[in-house]
Structure 1
Amino acid sequence: ALKGIRDRVQLATKFGVYFEGGKGNIRGDPAYVRAACEGSLKRLDVDCIDLYYQHRIDTRVPIEVTV
């Protein structure tokens, strides 16, 4: 969808919520954040995400660790 126009758009996406067994779960640990980012890059077929934001706060992980 972004082929040919990627240089003209700012791309934003989020992480932090995933679904498993029909239930929404919240994760903010660094391993999940990296895996979610890599998955987004692959699905969107881009090399860079301009704005990557946390959809929900994982209260089990300090924000300093998440980012």
Structure 2
Amino acid sequence: LPQMQDVPILLLNGTADTTTPVHMSRELAQLLPQAELVEFEGVTHMGPMSLRKQAEPVFERYCTFMKGQL
């Protein structure tokens, strides 16, 4: 992970995700101080993308993150 120390990282993870369990993203966030972790309570791996109501905040958070990198 040393080569990723200066790369901005936004981690998005649902707490009900069994494909990528949230504990994995939490570990990455601890290892990479520049990483920002956003957890979505009760959401599965594809939950935010399949439900418009949940997808909007994900997309807005992503846009905010990317604007901060410009």
Same fold flag (TM > 0.5): no
Higher gyration radius (CA): 1
**Coarse TM-score class (shorter-chain normalised):** 0.3 to 0.5
TM-score, structure 2 as length reference:
0.32
The structure richer in helix per residue is: 2
More strand by share: 1
Q: Between the two structures, name the one with larger relative contact order (CA 8 Å, sep ≥ 6).
A: 1
